[in-house]
Structures are given as C-alpha cells and as structure tokens.
Structure 1
C-alpha cells in the first residue's frame, strides 16, 4: 500500500487527537460530575468530590488507557509484521487468551499479588505467541490469513473454556477475577501503573530495536540475511516483545480485543505498510483508539457504563469483515 499521508502530518494529527481525547476522558463520565464541574476541578475547583473524581479516578483511568492502548497497538503491528498477516491480532490469535489463562491458573493455584500477575501474564502471552508461530509453519494454515485466524480463534476458545472451568470450580478465583476477566479500565488499583510501566518500556525498547530487522524481513529471508539480519533471531525477539506488551496490557486491564487490529489498520491506511512508519504512528493511535472507546463506554448507557471491550468489538468487528471481504487480502 503506497504512502497516502506524510508521516509528520499524520503524527501531528494523531497527537492533536490524543490531546483532545485525553481532555475528554478527564471531563466526561457516567456519574453526576459534569464537564463544567470537571473542568473547574481540573483547574482550581473547591469541590472535593469533583476533585477526587477527576484527579484520582479519571486521571488514573486515563493513564491506564494510554498505557494499554499503546501496548496493544504496538503489539498488533509487530505481530502482523512477523506473521505477514493483516488479520493477526493478539486477541484473535490467542495471545491475549494465553495471558488471561495463565493469570487465572496462577490465582487458582494460590497467587494473589498484582505484581505476580504481570510476570505470569507475560509468560502466558509468550506461550501464545509461540503457538501462533508454530501454526504459521503448518502447510495450508500459515499461508492463509483467514485459516490462521480460525486456528487462533479455536485456541482462544479452548483456553477460555478452561478458564471458565477454573472460575466455576473455585469461588475465590471467581471473586478475584470477576471484574478483571471481562477487560475494563475502571476500578483498577492506583499501583497498577507503577508495576505496568516497566513491562511496557521493556516491550517498546525491544520493538524499537526490531524495527529495521522486521522491515528487512518483509523483503524476504534472503534479502534480510544479505543485509546482515538473522531472521530467526528477529522472529524470536519479536515474540518476546509482543509477549511483554500483551502480557503487561492484559495484566493491567484484562483482555481487551481488537485494538491490535484497529490501530495497525488505520496506520496502514494513513502512511502505508512500512513497519517503521506504521509502528511510529501506532504509538499515538493506540492510546487514541482506547481513550475514545473508554469515553464512549461511559456515555452510551448513563448513569451506567459498558465494558470498554464491548466498544472495541463494535468498532473492530466491521474492520475485520472489511479486510476479509476485500477483493485481494493483502499479505504484509
């Protein structure tokens, strides 16, 4: 796909959208604190309740949305680049399911510390990544993007069923996981950011180191080797980066689907399929998409809230159908 918008212009527009959506996330909510009271509380308001809602609850939620959106958007770009599949997405290919199942299993075995959830989720996501790559080696599956997604969906369904069995068999596990397993940004403890940030930074650092090798790998293994890159090492490093990003996001907010599909799709439509340009823009678009979905989830059924995963699915499912129904499904 040729470049349609200069990267600097697209990044500037995405940064402006991110600023506006951040402000909207702080000012809008399902409760009684309206946007005028929220704006006053954000500045120099005297209302203690409004200050608590805006500066504590919504501020923490906004920060978490940025972190999770950035992680899932970047993971989607990397996963699509390494599999050369525009349908590859952590939720569709079972990576998020692997992270979720690992956390449920750990809690079922007695773990309860949030910091432990991060390490367990990363390991589970890594196992999911490895299984995805093994599936891509199967004849007739890895070469067909739709079949790869179907294989990932089967894997996700299996892990989801096993997770449900553990939740039904252990009341303590069910109590701890009830508000986590659906994927949401509300009600997360304030310390979530402190233990999530190192995982995000590690995953992003690995992703930035892999940009050039992945761009070379898109030209073919022989070309990549001729340019001095090791294709096997590139794939292994990409799996680790994806596991760090998806594991961190899943441990922080639960499984939120379709962000890893929506963000790369929009980025490619704007700046082309070069992984260097797509990843750079996705670092801004990821937080934008999740902030938009989270803000919308607060407003659609006021005074109640929808899980943010419902909104991302409503947006992501049509994009998935549009890609599949395209005249020629692109190979990345």
Structure 2
C-alpha cells in the first residue's frame, strides 16, 4: 500500500502541474502573451491589450478543468462499479447517448436553454448506460469486460450514425452543432458553467460519498455484502453520479472520449486502488490532461486549432489497446 505521504506528494505535484497548465492555457493562443501577463490575467487584471487577450481565455481554461475532472471521475467510478478496466464514458456509448438525446431534443422538440439541455443529456447518458450494461450482461458469464466493451463500441457506432441521420437533413441544426459534435472547450461561457455547477456538484458528491463502498465492491459482491455494504445501493448511487457528470460534461463541451479511460489507469498506477484517494486524484489529473491537450491543440497548428475531441483519441487509442492486451495476459 502506498503511504499517505506519497499520495499527498502526488496531489501536490498534480496541483502544481494544473497551475502551470492554466498559465500556459491563458498564455498561448492565436496571440501569445508573456507569462507575467498571463498570471495578471488569471488574477483578474486587464490593464494592457495582452492581459485583455489573456483574460478572454480564462473561461476556456476553467471549462477544461471542469470537463477533465468530471469525465475522469466518471470513468473511475464506472470502472469500479462494473469492475471493468475498459469502462469509459466514450467506449460505453454514454457520451453518444447524451449527444443523440440533445440533438433529438433540439431537432424535434425545439429544446433550448442550458438547464433543459443538461437534463436531456443526463437522461440520454443514463439510457445508453442501461442499454449497454443490459446487452453486455446477456449470455454466459454475465457482464464481462470484453462483452461490455463490444456492446459499448457497437452502441456508440449506432448512436453516432443516428446523430448524423438526424442532423443531415437539418442544415440549421447541423451548422450549430457541427463543432460541438467533435468535442472541445472553445465555446466556454460563464453563465452556462454557473448553471452546470449544481449538477456537477451533485455528481461529484455522489461519487465521493460512495468511494468507500467502491473499495468494498472491488473485493467482490459476496465479500462486500459480508462487510455490511449494500452492494445494490452503492452501485446505483455511484452510477447516478457518473451519469450526471457525463451528461453535463457532454452538454457543455460535446463528446470527449478516452479521458475516463486514460486518467484512472495512470492515476491508479501511482496512488493505488483506494477510491478515497483515487477519485480526487483522478479529478485533478483529468483537469491537467484536458487543459494541456487544449493548449497543445491551439499551439501546434497556430493560428488555427485542433479540438480536444480530436486529440484525446490519439492519446487514448494506444492505451486502450494496451489495456486489452494486459487483460488477456492476466486471464491466461
């Protein structure tokens, strides 16, 4: 078991990395500024043109922190609930479910407003999660990691096709959501983030409050029950928290995959399997990853940019293959 001191060191190091990532995010863009101007902008100053330019990047940076933390916590929780190392909101079709629900709501029911959009996204996420788990549980052996991953991949492909089918005949809706579908934090708005804050807080609290129960689930249902844990209640509450985080994150930034897969695995290797530490550490690491990836996407093709939703699969796909190969070796 990793000592508390080492875990605290990891938390401290991640906070430092997040601070550096935030400064870089505010500093770099179409028009780069000095580090001093970036820090002054983060402190709320806009006395010069450079500081004013940097100040406009702060909402984007804050949204990157929110999305990274939310998706990382959701992935960590899903992996614990299903005892499946391949669990990820993107791979399991949950992000695609949220996207389809939002697109249908706008196209057919005139959905408008931040809060209704978030609620519809959460409902879509929940429906996709239930469907994938049900399909993955069919047959011998129940919900094995490989069956859930295959069910999730098939569901993601089907839902993504349905999103395209709904959007293609509707040019006005397609233009509005063309870039949202890719997934990114470029459209950050303070008012939408403020409206999302209560939903995100509820999702985060549900995941944190069930962290001890998630530790028990890792020992198996029978052992968890013998320890006095209500297995069904823990699974339901933790799953609701993860679904809320996924739905709201998708409503804010579009579907961004692989964060919930990459971050928990890397963090677990460093801080161990205790979810009382793993959940907050994953949140910070996810925030660092999204803010850094967004900054990289703005710098590498300046003056244009590459959305985070494009960068994350490049990072996540090789790790996904490594995890599958690792699981096969363990099963031999």
The reply to whether TM is greater than 0.5 is yes
Deviates more, 1:222-231 or 1:297-306: 222-231
CA RMSD of aligned residues (A): 2.1
Cα shift readout 1:225-255 (whole Å, capped 9, x = no counterpart): 2222221111111221111100110000000
Sort the Cα spacing of 1:131 and 1:141 in 2 relative to 1 into closer, same or farther, 3 A. Answer: farther
Sort the Cα spacing of 1:114 and 1:327 in 2 relative to 1 into closer, same or farther, 3 A. Answer: closer
Deviates more, 1:300-309 or 1:2-11: 2-11
Sort the Cα spacing of 1:325 and 1:40 in 2 relative to 1 into closer, same or farther, 3 A. Answer: closer
Q: SS in structure 2 opposite 1:7?
A: helix
Q: What are the equivalent positions in structure 2 for 1:43-192 lying under 5 Å apart?
A: 46-48=47-49, 50-55=50-55, 57-109=56-108, 110-140=110-140, 142-192=142-192
Sort the Cα spacing of 1:136 and 1:321 in 2 relative to 1 into closer, same or farther, 3 A. Answer: same
Q: How far is 1:86 from its partner?
A: 0.8
Q: What are the equivalent positions in structure 2 for 1:126-275 lying under 5 Å apart?
A: 126-140=126-140, 142-275=142-275
Deviates more, 1:307-316 or 1:248-257: 307-316
Cα shift readout 1:134-170 (whole Å, capped 9, x = no counterpart): 2342234755423321210100111111110110122
Aligned length, in residue pairs = 327
Q: How far is 1:326 from its partner?
A: 2.0
Contact 1:142 1:148 in 2 (8 A): no
Which consecutive unaligned segments of at least 5 residues does structure 1 have?
Answer: none
Contact 1:95 1:128 in 2 (8 A): yes
Q: Write the distance in 2 (CA, Å) between the matches of 1:247 and 1:73.
A: 13
TM-score by length of 2: 0.92
Q: Write the distance in 2 (CA, Å) between the matches of 1:16 and 1:41.
A: 18
Contact 2:23 2:39 in 1 (8 A): no
Contact 1:297 1:308 in 2 (8 A): yes
Q: SS in structure 2 opposite 1:178?
A: helix
Contact 1:182 1:255 in 2 (8 A): yes
Residue in 1 that maps onto 2:26: 26
Sort the Cα spacing of 1:152 and 1:187 in 2 relative to 1 into closer, same or farther, 3 A. Answer: same
Q: Write the distance in 2 (CA, Å) between the matches of 1:233 and 1:40.
A: 45
TM-score by length of 1: 0.92
Cα shift readout 1:188-210 (whole Å, capped 9, x = no counterpart): 33312111111110101111111
Deviates more, 1:242-251 or 1:8-17: 8-17
Contact 2:33 2:51 in 1 (8 A): no
